[in-house]
Chain A
């Protein structure tokens, strides 16, 4: 019944609107405003344009300043500070262009609105002006490109050899993290060895000795101030590693390992203190559409002091130790080594 009333109300409103429309058309015909070249609406539209601009700028300025901390996530990596600086510099430049061009757009619209007695200026071209506004953007853009390019090559440069190796493997719909262990080497894998049934989610290949001490941990744990190299892969569809606070993003591609190196600058505790929020946690999210659970691929990220990290790492038991069944996959000549390296963690 309620729906029926709503329906009637909608029809009534539509009917009234239609009536207003018909009447206003009749009035137009009576007043003959249909015949005139320009009606009073022309001025109204010109004024509305300026009004739109003024209110719009007001809202823009108010929100941008008032809520800055809300939309600007704190940054916790070395390269992130650089890219943030580039970003805000770019925003300032394009913001200025945005404001100036909009002032011109709406002020011209108002100032040069139609007047019966005026004739527009016949001004078809001016090559000097064209050169000017080709040249100036070109120079500004060159500067932006070069600073961006320097940052980019730096961020994408190869990691140092002693960088902490962590494998991030995406699958529908979670991440799995494998640490290099004591040798700091994430071992080889073969996708044909992957099996959720026997627990070898990563497809670790135990003919590679680097796998013996690798361990899996539920969170992404990283030491502050030490270079990390994320070895990124996916085993079913595309995913994308996104660490918003570290300004880090890289796709995880099945069949094509990718990587991203970075250095964290603030531990979780330091960030909690800075934000005054003891519940705060760094997070890892997925940013490449991967199916039904795309929005739920979360991992906690913990940044520790380096000493704390070393201690934590030493406490972890290797995958092979936790799953001794896989010892059968270790070639005979490496069995002894495998036994030793699984024991060395004790």
Chain B
């Protein structure tokens, strides 16, 4: 550890804060984690608008199959048929890209990328990420991936259309559908860059959390947000490479004539030479990432919510250690449940049994988390900020979507429900909506720290209630449609007598979806308006305990102008009996709060001196100087 130099460096901070870069080094190729976080956020919002618009378009097809969509022609061109209908293949492309964009670009990059980057250094007390340069690369690989994916939307044969899971052989054979041509190639290239970005980010998050915590910040004093980001990054680092491998083998099959996934295929009047491959192999590899991916998008949202619910209930999060242990449990289990996506894929039924057992076990840590949230609210003193509302909304949709997982994880029941709208309802609530709510809650909560201004609360309330009610009106009825057996990814249901009902319910869902989508522009307006015209934020607007609120209103590169504060207590000392205020920040030593200390906390006073004399490795910050970036 370069302790001596680190110490010397910390004296230089004064000039450090006042340096002026140009526009490019400050806002574009910037290594400051806060700027990178905002870059991720804004790119994520851009993608969310596209992904949401796609769903609005295909919901129009599903809800109003007879409507004339000719007015979309200026936008979609030849994808609108001369009769004013959506092209069936383009419908599949929309469904595919909606999934890809939302899962990867919005809820992985937009959520983890934003909040892991923004909060890790601020909440653990570090000047920046362990490697600011790698962090910057992480964003720019994501940007490159975004550009390629965006281009794929514009090409003549359309983007990838085989569902977001892109199962071969459909995705491997350009003759099977248009989207499996160039669009699929671009999808794979974009995903490869995306994985690189995700790994660069993840390795950085893990390293930073392990090495750069400030004085006194032991692992058990970390806010739950950081635990969540930490475990999320571990999941990502372990599972994304497997998707990389799956994608690479698919590239080989598509372009170099290998037969990893292809066997005994006769298509378009021609028998292909490939034998011996297995489409199921791809499904195993894909879901080895695909299922942990669910937790990659969910855990950060749960972490954010834990923090927000505790702060705004003015109560410690109930069962901090149980929360960490259940997240650990979820992390471990997330790797050994993947085949529940494949119960009826032709998987060996014995494996199906094993995966059913493992899958239902994962419901237990999830249930523990829910009960802990509820107990945190119990006898609290609840302030409904927009962030708090979205967090409570998250708990609600997490329950609603989570419980149906118990039905789906049961392989015998899954036979009927697999690939129906029941599944669509399930994962849109538990993973889509929950993560989205977590992301929005995070934006409302940390906006003051990001931009030094407040977002408008009233607009936030309106946004919340329309979104919350809207999400239920969209996804809850899908359970009924799913029980009735309606399959996913159907362009139209009129071919089947069994699926000919529910036209009114489908129209209802589509209307609700359109309203919910439009309501997001309230948020967008609030976001952009508040960046420039919002009320100036106080230093600690939510009266919160965590470290980020000890920084100046607009923290510069390096976060704290002087020395990084030391930490003496856990982050959840809210409404402590005897305390003057209803919160005690982590930086307040026990020796200053004799009136509210619990018996065992008085023993920790003796350790305070030790904490103050600790030497912290400020390597990340040191590297900055080494690079001569300033």
Contact = CB atoms under 8 A, between A and B. Distances in A.
Interface string B484-513: 110111111101111101100000000000
Nearest to B89: A292
A345 interface: no
Interface string A236-259: 111010101101111101111010
A163 interface: no
B383 A254 contact: no
B415 A144 contact: no
A37 B582 CA distance: 13
B382 A148 contact: no
Contacts of A63: 477, 480
Interface residues of B, number: 119
A151 B412 contact: yes
Nearest to B473: A59
Given A120-B574, A248-B415, A145 B357 contact: yes
B432 interface: no
B572 A124 contact: yes
A114 B382 contact: yes
A138 interface: yes
Interface in B100-124: none
Contacts of A104: 374, 377-378
Interface string B345-369: 1100100110011001101100110
A46 B574 CA distance: 21
Interface in A105-160: 105, 108-109, 112-115, 118-126, 129-130, 133-134, 137-138, 141, 144-145, 148-149, 151-153, 155-156
Q: Which residue of A73, A194, A255, A283 has the most chain B CB atoms within 10 A of its CB atom?
A: A255
B392 A49 contact: yes
A258 B346 contact: yes
A196 B269 contact: yes
Contact of A73 (B277, B346, B484): B484
B363 A141 contact: yes
Interface string A182-215: 0000000001101111000001000000000000
A283 to B, nearest CB: 5
Contacts of B92: 289, 291-292, 294
Nearest to B458: A24
Contacts of B371: 129, 133
A102 B401 CA distance: 13
B625 interface: no
B604 to A, nearest CB: 15
B167 A238 contact: yes
B320 interface: yes
A149 B356 contact: yes
Contacts, number: 342
A83 B483 contact: no
B418 interface: yes
B377 A108 contact: yes
A251 B346 CA distance: 6
Contact of A254 (B263, B496, B502): B263
A91 B458 CA distance: 38
Contacts of A94: 403-404, 406-407
Interface string B278-320: 1110000000000000000000000000000000011111111
B496 A298 contact: yes
Contact of A255 (B163, B176, B263, B418): B263
B410 A145 contact: yes
Given A148-B356, A156-B349, A244 B416 contact: yes
B169 A236 contact: yes
Contacts of B383: 37-38, 42, 114
Given A291-B176, A295-B490, A122 B407 contact: no
Contacts of A221: none
Given A118-B381, A130-B322, A249 B399 contact: no
10 contacts: A21-B456, A86-B413, A108-B382, A152-B353, A235-B264, A238-B167, A238-B169, A279-B497, A289-B489, A296-B495
Q: 8 tightest A-B contacts by CB?
A: A255-B263, A156-B349, A244-B485, A94-B403, A148-B410, A258-B346, A45-B384, A120-B575
Interface of B: 88-89, 92, 162-163, 167, 169-170, 173, 176-177, 262-267, 269, 271, 275-280, 313-322, 344-346, 349, 352-353, 356-357, 360-361, 363-364, 367-368, 370-372, 374-375, 377-384, 389, 392, 395-396, 399-400, 403-404, 406-407, 410-413, 415-420, 456-459, 461, 465, 468-469, 472, 476-477, 480-481, 483-485, 487-493, 495-499, 501-502, 535, 572, 574-577, 582
Interface of A: 21, 24-25, 28, 34, 37-39, 41-42, 44-46, 48-49, 52, 56, 60, 63-64, 67, 70-73, 80, 82-84, 86-87, 90-91, 93-95, 97-98, 101-102, 104-105, 108-109, 112-115, 118-126, 129-130, 133-134, 137-138, 141, 144-145, 148-149, 151-153, 155-156, 171-172, 191-192, 194-197, 203, 235-238, 240, 242, 244-245, 247-251, 253-256, 258, 279-281, 283, 285-296, 298
